[in-house]
Amino acid sequence: MNTKTVKSMAGIVLSQISLVALFPLCICYQTHQSTSSVASLSPQFYENSCPNAQAIVQSYVANAYFNDPRMAASILRLHFHDCFVNGCDASVLLDSSGTMESEKRSNANRDSARGFEVIDEIKSALENECPETVSCADLLALVARDSIVICGGPSWEVYLGRRDAREASLIGSMENIPSPESTLQTILTMFNFQGLDLTDLVALLGSHTIGNSRCIGFRQRLYNHTGNNDPDQTLNQDYASMLQQGCPISGNDQNLFNLDYVTPTKFDNYYYKNLVNFRGLLSSDEILFTQSIETMEMVKYYAENEGAFFEQFAKSMVKMGNISPLTGTDGEIRRICRRVNHDV
């Protein structure tokens, strides 16, 4: 798709709905990251080399969202799963090639990671506009922000200038991404390993206010939580009964359920309100309210103060997006996000 077509499409989408109406709850936060933490990245990185880059990304995210509202959570998730494996380097997008095994094959991504075709489409448009300029890693950071905004969440300046990895790490993807059954200590250890603290953990898990989980991801809570054929006592039993109707003790593994059953496509603070009411879908979510006084207090605070959640979420997203970026002459700018350049 050429630049003229992109601009036309964006005009059609945004002329029908004003920006105020499209993003009614969009609040832009200054993240005030330290100079040292973002020394190699800058919100103005493409200001001269590809000035239309962010507008192109926004228009394609809007189109993807209107075609499939689930896509907002899916492409946001790709950024998380990328940054937690050897830093934010777009390794999650690589297909298997030669001796390299794709991270898409890990337990965290297999059968659940999606949105790769959307990334391909945006990358193609960026290549038409500015060949070999905008990295796939930066593209993931931008679509993550834009997917939050279009669902009514906060906005922030995305620091740019990442380069793309030439290798994937299936082992890293297997070991560094929490599972739905992870304990709080396990999740915190994984976050600490990335330089993220407990506040970042509680805020970033708030992204589960949008998106879905498969039945297989929480079935054990419904039927055999401790291995003694008993349900999870921290799960509201009326809610559990409702879930059991679509997630039986066996079969229907791929059935989808909203992570936030109240406002499933709106980025808000109902994730935390649900936890307070013992209606968090995943065990790894509900434990924020049941296994730690410190996290319980944060959950209650965000449940009562959406603005505070939005502000911390924006700060933590910038912090996460700065995990071990490749810059300078490290890595490359992939022409196709699925393959390193020597395979193109």
Q: How large is the average pLDDT for residues 314-331?
A: 97
- Enclosing H/E stretch for 81: helix 71-83
The upper half-sphere exposure of residue 123, i.e. CA atoms within 13 Å in the direction of its Cβ, equals: 24
268 annotated to bind ligand: yes
Give the model's confidence band at 111: pLDDT under 50 very low, under 70 low, under 90 confident, else very high: confident
Give 157-225 as a DSSP string. Answer: PPPB--BB-S---HHHHHHSS--TT--HHHHHHHHHHTT--HHHHHHHGGGGGS-EEEGGGTHHHHH-S
32, 79, 81, 342: which is the annotated catalytic residue?
81
Distance CA 341, CA 333 (A): 8
> Using CA atoms in the order 224, 227, 233, 238, what is the torsion angle rounded to 10 degrees?
10
Burial class (CB in 10 A: 0-12, 13-18, 19+), 335: middle
| Residue 80 dihedral angles phi and psi, to the nearest 5° | -60, -50
Give 136-158 as a DSSP string. Answer: HHHHHHHHHHHHHHHTT--EEPP
209 annotated to bind ligand: yes
260 annotated to bind ligand: yes
Mean pLDDT lowest among 20-24, 215-219, 280-284: 20-24
% of the chain beyond a pLDDT of 70: 88
Output DSSP code: residue 256: E
Q: Which two structure tokens, joined as six digits, stand for 33?
A: 């990251």
| Residue 290 dihedral angles phi and psi, to the nearest 5° | -115, -15
Mean pLDDT lowest among 3-12, 168-177, 180-189, 264-273: 3-12
Asked whether the predicted pLDDT for residue 225 surpasses 50, the reply is yes
Report pLDDT for 36: 39
User: For 30-80, how does the pLDDT look when each residue is reduced to its tens digit (9 = 90+)?
Assistant: 554 443 344 589 999 999 999 999 999 999 999 999 999 999 999 999 999
Q: Map out the domains of the chain as residue ranges.
A: 52-211+259-322
Q: How large is the average pLDDT for residues 228-245?
A: 93
Q: Kindly report the CA angle at 237 between 235 and 241, in degrees rounded to 5?
A: 110
pTM of structure: 0.89
Asked whether the predicted pLDDT for residue 21 surpasses 50, the reply is no
Q: Which residues fall within 8 angstroms of residue 28, CB to CB, at 6 or more apart?
A: 154, 155, 156
Burial class (CB in 10 A: 0-12, 13-18, 19+), 36: exposed
Length of the chain as a residue count: 344
Q: Class of 52-211+259-322 per CATH?
A: mainly alpha
Distance CA 120, CA 263 (A): 29
Active-site residue 342, yes or no? no
Give the model's confidence band at 28: pLDDT under 50 very low, under 70 low, under 90 confident, else very high: low
User: For 122-160, how does the pLDDT look when each residue is reduced to its tens digit (9 = 90+)?
Assistant: 999 999 999 999 999 999 999 999 999 999 999 999 999
91 annotated to bind ligand: yes
32 annotated to bind ligand: no
208 annotated to bind ligand: yes
